[in-house]
């Protein structure tokens, strides 16, 4: 067919082309066009998915996370109004505002395609298309998507790590984030509960709307209703004007209530009523105000035990516990310590214009051996401090200044500790030794580098002969 002309000729130039690191999802009900796209697009883009119907478009977009969707404007035979394309464009931009959309349209529908651009489409391509024009348009759309992602502050993005536990959580997030299901995030302080909540909002269909965050346990009891539900002028002594509460501020978006386990029992009933009614009544008023929010809650408390002991309302617990995500402490995912540490190192070296680029083997061993009771937050703060204090390209144990624990300080005061061990922090009974930590650091580097010994040695900042010796030592 005409659309496919030139594709096979281009195949002979495949070796000369550098693929764009772009992910394209194309949807078209014409089998001939799909066949042509399946030949053409993989020559230019790293990942391509092609589907025949827009009915599965939202789920495939959520699963595949493309940079660009190439969207046909008509899907029913004898129906060429283009309204279907505009409808699916609106749905895409509503649920996935960061995904670029290129419209695929017949010549007669150019005016509709222009209307589509007004509604958020990146550009349009007319059928029968010219291959260079199609590839150039999709490439520009991919570039725009990448630049938009690069502009986002890295601190605002969830750091997933590479371990099995976090991979499972990530899949759960990708499945549930596009929905409006209420989420309960549990875990110790510093595990990243607030970051996970922000990631779920970013991946949701509400990402273009506000995300309102509040530490529910830190709100004084006397101000609880006013802060959450608002008040009208004159409702109490200091109410000098009307005030919209957190629920109204988050209308259309996401409300994140952190430390929900700290809310006093008698105030939990008021929160439950608002969630059940999906409406709030401002203090001093009698008129309910409807609110449309997606609720995410978090706590570091054992909320199941609180329910059993009557310290947390069972009916409220069921209301907020539609989907439960528990973030494990960093000590239970030690294989992620070095990847996270390296991410923080790169971030802060750039932020503070430092030369620091890697960790010495001793520093890596110290990081892996430390217990990290403060979890990811403590690790991030420790690396930031080390980068600021560093003077060279390699972070050493002295730069890290990992604090000694009580047993180590006691040994040092008795003259039994050695200076080198104080850099690492001594091991409590049952914890791993420095050799065990070093072995883990090497195995983690082997996994990250795909077994490439040159890259492993470089990432650990050791020579290849030293690496060979350690691989032999640990039977790797």
Does residue 188 carry a pLDDT above 90?
yes
pLDDT the model gives residue 451: 75
User: End-to-end CA distance of the chain, in Å?
Assistant: 56
Fold entry, domain 163-328: Rossmann fold (3.40.50)
Interior CA angle at 37 toward 34 and 40, to 5°? 155
- 471 or 67, higher pLDDT: 67
Q: Which tens digit of pLDDT belongs to each residue from 55-71?
A: 878 878 877 889 999 99
Q: Where are the domains of the chain?
A: 2-151, 163-328, 331-474
Confidence of residue 162 (pLDDT cuts 50, 70, 90): low
pLDDT the model gives residue 8: 39
Token pair, residue 215, equals 């530490």
Q: Which tens digit of pLDDT belongs to each residue from 320-359?
A: 999 999 999 999 988 889 988 998 998 888 888 888 999 9
Q: Which tens digit of pLDDT belongs to each residue from 106-129?
A: 766 678 888 888 888 999 999 889
Place of tokens 């509960």: 193
Q: Is the CATH code 1.10.8.60 the one for domain 331-474? A: yes
| CATH for the stretch 2-151 | 3.40.50.2300
Own/partner pairs for 132-141, CB < 8 Å, 24+ apart?
134/40, 135/40, 135/44, 137/102, 138/20, 138/22, 138/24, 138/41, 138/44, 138/45, 138/68, 138/70, 138/102, 139/20, 139/22, 139/44, 141/67, 141/68, 141/100, 141/102
- 131 or 148, higher pLDDT: 131
Q: What percent of the chain stands above pLDDT 90?
A: 48
Token pair, residue 240, equals 């000098």
pLDDT the model gives residue 41: 95
Confidence of residue 87 (pLDDT cuts 50, 70, 90): confident
Average per-residue pLDDT for the chain: 83
Measured from the Cβ of residue 304, the count of other Cβ atoms closer than 10 Å reads 13
pLDDT the model gives residue 410: 44
Q: Identical fold at 163-328 and 331-474? A: no
Contacts of 372 (CB under 8 A, 6+ apart): 329, 330, 331, 337, 378, 379
- 181 or 437, higher pLDDT: 181
Averaged pLDDT, 300-322: 95
Which of 74-88, 203-217, 425-439 is most confident? Answer: 203-217
- 352 or 173, higher pLDDT: 173
pLDDT the model gives residue 416: 43
Lowest-pLDDT range, 2-11, 75-84, 317-326, 361-370? Answer: 2-11
Measured from the Cβ of residue 356, the count of other Cβ atoms closer than 10 Å reads 22
The whole-model pTM stands at 0.56
pLDDT the model gives residue 229: 93
Averaged pLDDT, 222-228: 89
Asked whether the bond before 142 is cis by omega within 30 degrees of 0, the reply is: no
Q: What is the dihedral of CA 118, 120, 126, 129, to 10 degrees?
A: 150
Does residue 9 carry a pLDDT above 70?
no
Confidence of residue 217 (pLDDT cuts 50, 70, 90): confident
Confidence of residue 216 (pLDDT cuts 50, 70, 90): confident
For the chain, percent helix, then strand, then coil, each to nearest 5? 50, 15, 35
């Amino acid at each position: 067919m005409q659309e496919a002309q030139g594709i096979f000729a281009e195949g002979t130039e495949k070796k000369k082309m550098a693929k764009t690191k772009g992910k394209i999802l194309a949807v078209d009900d014409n089998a001939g066009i799909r066949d042509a796209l399946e030949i053409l697009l993989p020559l230019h883009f790293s990942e391509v998915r092609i589907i025949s119907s827009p009915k599965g478009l939202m789920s495939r977009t959520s699963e595949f996370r493309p940079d660009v969707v190439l969207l046909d404007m008509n899907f029913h035979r004898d129906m060429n109004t283009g309204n279907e394309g505009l409808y699916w464009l609106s749905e895409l931009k509503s649920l996935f505002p960061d995904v670029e959309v290129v419209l695929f349209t017949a010549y007669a529908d150019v005016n509709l395609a222009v209307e589509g651009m007004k509604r958020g489409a990146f550009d349009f391509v007319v059928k029968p298309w010219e291959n260079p024009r199609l590839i150039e348009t999709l490439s520009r759309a991919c570039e725009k998507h990448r630049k938009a992602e690069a502009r986002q502050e890295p601190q605002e993005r969830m750091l997933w790590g590479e371990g099995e536990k976090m991979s499972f959580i990530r899949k759960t997030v990708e499945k549930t984030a596009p929905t409006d299901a209420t989420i309960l995030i549990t875990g110790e302080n510093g595990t990243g509960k607030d970051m996970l909540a922000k990631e779920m909002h970013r991946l949701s269909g509400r990402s273009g709307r506000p995300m309102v965050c509040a530490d529910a346990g830190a709100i004084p009891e006397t101000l609880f209703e006013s802060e959450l539900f608002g008040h009208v002028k004159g409702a109490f002594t200091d109410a000098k004007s009307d005030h919209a509460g957190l629920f109204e501020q988050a209308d259309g978006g996401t409300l994140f209530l952190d430390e929900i386990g700290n809310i006093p029992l008698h105030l939990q009933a008021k929160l439950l009523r608002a969630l059940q009614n999906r409406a709030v009544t401002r203090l001093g008023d009698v008129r309910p105000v409807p609110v449309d929010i997606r609720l995410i809650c978090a706590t570091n408390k054992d909320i199941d035990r609180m329910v059993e002991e009557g310290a947390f309302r069972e009916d409220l617990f069921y209301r907020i516990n539609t989907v439960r995500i528990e973030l494990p402490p960093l000590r239970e995912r030690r294989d992620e310590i070095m990847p996270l540490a390296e991410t923080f190192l790169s971030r802060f070296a750039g932020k503070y214009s430092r030369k620091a680029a890697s960790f010495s083997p001793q520093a890596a061993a110290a990081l892996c051996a430390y217990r990290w009771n403060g979890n990811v937050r403590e690790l991030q703060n420790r690396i930031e401090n080390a980068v600021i204090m560093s003077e060279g390209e390699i972070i050493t144990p002295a730069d890290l200044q990992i604090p000694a624990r009580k047993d180590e300080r006691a040994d040092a005061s008795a003259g039994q500790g050695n200076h080198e061990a104080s850099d690492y922090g001594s091991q409590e009974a049952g914890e791993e030794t420095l050799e065990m930590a070093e072995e883990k650091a090497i195995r983690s580097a082997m996994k990250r580098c795909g077994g490439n010994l040159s890259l492993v040695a470089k990432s650990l900042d050791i020579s290849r002969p030293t690496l060979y010796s350690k691989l032999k030592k640990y039977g790797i």
